[in-house]
Amino acid sequence: DIQMTQSPSSLSASVGDRVAITCRASQSVSAYLNWYQQKPGKAPKLLISAISTLQSGVPSRFSGIGTGTDFTLTISSLQPEDFATYYCQQTYSMPRTFGQGTKVEIK
Amino acid sequence: QVQLQESGPGLVKPSETLSLTCTVSGGSITNYYLTWLRQPAGEGLEWIGRTYINGSPTYNPSLKSRVTISADTSVNRFSLQVTSVTAADTAMYYCASGDIKIDYWGQGTLVTVSS
């Protein structure tokens, strides 16, 4: 299985801050890297697919970059509705695997 | 827009079989990969497996011997069975559409394994 490791596991930030979450794969996942946002009590929501493709309706303050094994999700200016847990997922090989999650909390 | 809704017992006894159904609306299941995932309370997401109407299901090896995913096109539903459950199978279970990217998710259903 491909292991996905996110860092940090949690972070505290203020509204307006720039936030970056990294995701490292144990082997190359090519461009098969997605990011999801999950709020408490809710199902995850797809934010970004294929490293950097923003899904319809997702604000442009979210962006993704990376290649091969190292990827980053950036929120350029944190908004109150962005406080949530974020997961990366690889769909390069079976079984599909997720990072352990990064919880973004209010400072 | 595709909508998915899980249903099934919220409580299952140890050693018994967990059975869940996902009803899909807004689109035919023949057009999508159909995926099951789960999430223990306070933990991360685990991919259980996926199927496609014209193909064979693929399962997570960690669960493979106990899991079956099937689909019924006549009622636009797909199902999950997990046999010989233990407390470790207690989780929120999600059905979803998509494989390379999971576009649509059900709201989830909590399954507790307890006697």
Contact A34/B at CB under 8 A: yes
User: Do A32 and B47 count as a contact with CB atoms less than 8 A apart?
Assistant: no
**Rounded distance, CA B61 to CA B66, Å?**
10
Section A65-81 average pLDDT: 97
Interface probe for A, chosen from B101, B103, B104 (most Cβ of A below 10 Å), is B101
Q: Residue B9 is encoded by which pair of tokens?
A: 């017992």
Which chain A residues are within 8 Å of B62, Cβ to Cβ? 95
Amino acid at B89: D
Q: Which of B44, B47, B106 has the CB atom closest to A43's CB atom?
A: B106
Q: What's the confidence (pLDDT) of residue B74?
A: 94
Is the predicted pLDDT of residue B54 greater than 90, yes or no? no
Strand locations in chain B, DSSP E? 3-7, 11-12, 18-25, 34-39, 46-51, 58-59, 67-72, 77-82, 91-98, 102-105, 109-113
Q: Which of B58, B59, B105 has the CB atom closest to A43's CB atom?
A: B105
Amino acid at A10: S
What chain B residue is nearest to A34 in terms of C-alpha separation? B101
Which chain A residues are within 8 Å of B105, Cβ to Cβ? 43-45
Condensed to tens digits (0 to 9), the pLDDT of residues B10-19 reads 999 999 999 9
Contact A43/B at CB under 8 A: yes
**Rounded distance, CA B80 to CA B35, Å?**
10
Contact A102/B at CB under 8 A: no
Condensed to tens digits (0 to 9), the pLDDT of residues A10-65 reads 999 999 999 999 999 999 999 999 999 999 999 999 999 999 999 999 999 999 99
Section B50-57 average pLDDT: 90
